[in-house]
Structure 1
């Protein structure tokens, strides 16, 4: 049973005449009659009594009519709902981000999307890179801003945008290094370290920086919250290596690192180079 057959059946039932019904659905009378006969054959019942003057629905026709009306109405509503989704009038967008992402102004981007498309519901999730990868693979997220290291992306994920951020050391204004503008990793070795512990990304990139330099660090604090890390540094409890945009906003003394400067890589990751979600495509247009 096809929607077009139901549409033809309803037209005949409402017009009570094959010729007028054929005109209303822009078909020839013979094509309309063939469509109705095919529906009758599929149902195993006659739907109309055909007389020389009129066409009247049979008991089977009268039974089918309200169902056909409802199916056609629901089909029209489904088409309209999909059209609204594809136009950006409605929809959902689930975005993930690591805590330390500052390469783009994410709150501003989400606000722009909301102003332009208020019918799109946006959900934001903050998590570690590994957790965001998992959420992308299981389609819990449409897009995610993640921090990368030397390892490749998990299978099935692609980077749509990449960003680089310089890494710098930060210390409290009264720290012994507060007068130093630049140093190498060995120059930081005598001091206790405060580590941002968030797995793949910043943590592994900083670890690799000191391993390559052959420098062993004395990590006395390990925290998973960047604001807490900055407070610990601000109170003179150690030195930390963090992205320069975060360091700049913190008001702490920044120390450039050589050789380099070293940097970390971030990416906007998705399951497909061309996302099927209209909401995701509209968000990408803002970047």
Structure 2
């Protein structure tokens, strides 16, 4: 590429000395480079006279292609620089439906304000699907729920979150007067189960299994908004993350002993290669004092 740039300079100036001055190199070095290009191509590119330098037929054929190649390389350098400086490119983020440990819309709004030219793709799916998308290169970052099974090998946990789990009931439910409940207190009531793949569903199931409580599941639903509506109408009780309960108009009851679930922001490595992903990470608080799960 450097030799093509030198070739174009000589062709433009029609003179080795003036081209060398433009390129800030010696005339002998420029002449040597052009001779090396001619040897590589097996043809003479210039007719050299005492007064000027003219393109040969082969030189004219090369000229248009060289301009295109050098122009494309300059455009490629500019495009890479734009991405490196987070002035262009894309950012693909995945999240489970029930992730509320971080205000994701607010986070993405802040990112967009700082980097308006970066195109953000947000995908909502199960933890299993998100991990597959991450390892397959479709996602840069993913907010996943860590259920009873560990993450498969590969993803690295960059941030670790904990959410308290609570019971939600309708305002006129018999349990409304209680500040907290044991899981055994829920056995007599119909249960609405959130089923959207591994994550909250498996965490809640394991919670009741450890307490040796048999649930009477009357509704299985994969949409949290619909689950809240079913509870509001008195069709059952449910266990949800505390931030979700807090934003609803349902009665929230603490579980005793305290129940919680873990979530994480994961990537393919400790330092994502996409500059936009690194910029988004910079807007997130660092992990708190809890032990980090590390690479899984």
TM class by smaller structure: over 0.9
Q: Which residue in the other structure is 2:147 paired with? A: 149
Give 1:156-167 correspondences, 5 Å limit: 156-167=154-165
Deviation at 1:195, TM superposition (A): 0.2
1:216-248 deviation line (CA, Å, top 9, x unaligned): 111111000001111111111111011011111
Once residues 192 and 61 of structure 2 are traced to their aligned partners in structure 1, the CA distance between those partners, rounded to angstroms, is: 76
Instruction: List, as ranges, runs of 4+ consecutive aligned residues in structure 1 with deviation greater than 3 Å.
Output: none
Task: Note if contact 2:144-2:263 (Cα within 8 Å) is conserved in structure 1.
Answer: yes
Q: Which residue in the other structure is 1:262 paired with? A: 259
Q: Which residue in the other structure is 2:190 paired with? A: 192
Give 1:91-130 correspondences, 5 Å limit: 91-130=89-128
Aligned pair 1:226/2:224, yes or no? yes
From 78, 86, 89, the counterpart of 1:88: 86
From 276, 279, 282, the counterpart of 2:276: 279
Once residues 153 and 244 of structure 1 are traced to their aligned partners in structure 2, the CA distance between those partners, rounded to angstroms, is: 24
Unpaired runs of 5+ residues, structure 1, are none
Task: Note if contact 2:148-2:206 (Cα within 8 Å) is conserved in structure 1.
Answer: no
User: SS where residue 144 of structure 2 aligns?
Assistant: strand
Scaled by the length of structure 1, the TM-score of the pair is 0.96
Deviation at 1:214, TM superposition (A): 1.0
Q: Which residue in the other structure is 1:54 paired with? A: 52
From 178, 181, 190, the counterpart of 1:180: 178
Scaled by the length of structure 2, the TM-score of the pair is 0.94
Unpaired runs of 5+ residues, structure 2, are 285-296
Once residues 126 and 54 of structure 1 are traced to their aligned partners in structure 2, the CA distance between those partners, rounded to angstroms, is: 66
1:237-267 deviation line (CA, Å, top 9, x unaligned): 11101101111111211111111x1101111
Once residues 210 and 21 of structure 2 are traced to their aligned partners in structure 1, the CA distance between those partners, rounded to angstroms, is: 80
